[in-house]
Amino acid sequence: MKLLSAALLALAAAAAVTATFLPFSELLIKLAPDQPQTAYVTTGWSTYFGATKDVHAPLFGIPIAAAAAATLAGIRWRKVAFAGAAALAGVAGMLFVYLLNAISFHKTGNIAIDPSLEAGFGNGIWVLIGATVLAFGAVVVHPDD
Amino acid sequence: MIGRPTAVALIAAGVVLTATALILPWYSTIYAGDVEVVVRAWGTEVVHKPGDWPAGELSPWYGVPIAITAAFLTAGIWINRAALAGAAAQLGAVGIITVLTISERGHAVEQQGDFAIGYGLVFLAAGTLVALTGAIAAQKEAR
């Protein structure tokens, strides 16, 4: 069981870090009706509006990487694994709410003007939620300290 | 060791600070013409809103994850494990809020806005750290 929980925790941490490099949200935006569509893509380390990089992009990757590190340290201590899994749940939950806001803001603002525009979650958030589930699974099979 | 009663008191103090943070403003930006954008846990308020303000106001549900972690912390007054889960999850959520606030500040300053942190964020950070201290102490007492 020790080996299984260690493997699950390592996998959860790796998945969480991988998630930071994947898109969290993908929004297609038009600034004016006659302008071309531009993709607005947010990952854990950058936000791009078309080819333009947002220099003030939120670095969601930092708290995610910290939670992943705690999860990895949980291989040694069950209580740390539990705290790491809870921290992953916290970052995933808060990020999800933020993305939900950004997507619904975009839908009421832009898509109302042009229905061909789209907005949705990227794969990153699903991988992050998957990592959270894996981490809690690892806690369940983790032998007591 | 600080003892179980002190640990519980810290967790309870964390709950009160967090609950206060859910009411107070988190941050605000003042732009030219006295236009002020105030962000709270349950919505964005634009004071002196001009007619050409971009359509659609952000009405965040930032309070939802924090209300959930605060509920875990409250349960944590009686159950050690709930306190640890609530404090760790709230720390994670505060991490996301922190990077988001830094980003918002950057955008506000770029648009010549006067950015200010509200008491809500200060109380949230304090409440999270106090509750985490209590939760960790409660874990050590349990052994």
Give residue-wise pLDDT tens across range A16-33.
Answer: 999 999 999 999 887 777
Between B64 and B49, name the one with better pLDDT: B64
Torsion of CA B28, B73, B9, B77, to 10 degrees: 160
Segment B2-29 mean pLDDT: 95
Task: Provide the residue range defining the domain that includes B106.
Answer: 4-50+61-142
CB within 8 Å: B84 and A86: yes
Mean pLDDT for all residues in chain A: 91
User: Is pLDDT at B136 greater than 90 in this prediction?
Assistant: yes
> For A50, which DSSP code?
T
Residue B58 has what pLDDT? 66
Note the pLDDT of residue A116: 75
Secondary structure percentages of chain A, helix, strand, coil, to 5: 60, 10, 30
User: Is residue B82, in this structure, part of any structural domain at all?
Assistant: yes
Given a cut of 90, whether residue B125 has pLDDT beyond it is yes
Average pLDDT over chain B reads: 91
Interchain pair B69, A97: CB under 8 A: no
Total domains present in chain B: 1
Tell me whether residues A90 and B89 touch, CB distance under 8 A. Answer: yes
Does B133 reside within a domain? yes
Q: How far apart are CA B130 and CA A108, in angstroms?
A: 39
The pLDDT score that the predictor gives to residue B34 is 87
Beta-carbon pairs below 8 A across chains A and B? 104
Name which of B126, B93, B136 is nearest B13 in CA terms: B126
Answer yes or no: is B89 within a domain.
yes
Vertex A107 angle, CA A29 and A15, to 5°: 80
pLDDT given for residue B8 in this prediction:
95
Residue A12 has pLDDT above 90, yes or no: yes
Choose between B55 and A107: higher pLDDT. Answer: A107
Class level of CATH domain A2-141: mainly alpha
The pLDDT of residue A131 is: 97
pLDDT digits (tens, 9 = 90+) for A86-139: 999 999 999 999 999 888 888 777 776 677 778 899 999 999 999 999 999 999
Asked if A66 and A44 count as a contact pair (C-beta separation under 8 A), the reply is no
Asked if residue B55 belongs to a domain, the reply is no
User: Is B87:B125 a contact under the CB 8 Å cutoff?
Assistant: no
Domain locations in chain A? 2-141
| Count of helices and strands (H, E) across chain A | 4, 5
Residues of chain B with Cβ-Cβ distance to A58 below 8 Å are 99-100, 102-103
How close A13 gets to chain B, by Cα (Å)? 14
Residue A85 corresponds to which tokens in the numbers above? 């899994």
Cβ separation B59–A101 shorter than 8 A: yes
Q: Which two tokens stand for residue B87?
A: 């404090």
Helices (H), chain B: 4-21, 63-75, 80-110, 119-142
Q: List, as ranges, residues 32-91 from A with C-beta within 8 Å of B.
A: 55-60, 62-63, 66-67, 70, 79, 82-84, 86-91
Q: A91, B66 in Cβ contact below 8 A?
A: no
Residue A112 has what pLDDT? 67
Task: Provide the shortest C-alpha distance from residue A4 to chain B (in Å).
Answer: 22
pLDDT value at position A105?
81
Q: How far, in Å, CA of A54 to CA of A142, rounded? A: 42
Quick check: is B67 in a domain? yes
Amino acid at site B9: A
CA A9 → CA A49, A109, B25, B66, distances in Å? 35, 41, 37, 25
Tens digit of each residue's pLDDT (9 = 90 or more) over B86-120? 999 999 999 999 999 999 999 999 989 999 999 99
> Which tens digits make up the pLDDT trace of A26-62?
998 877 777 788 899 999 999 998 889 999 999 999 9
Instruction: Name chain B contacts of A67, Cβ cutoff 8 Å.
Output: 92, 95
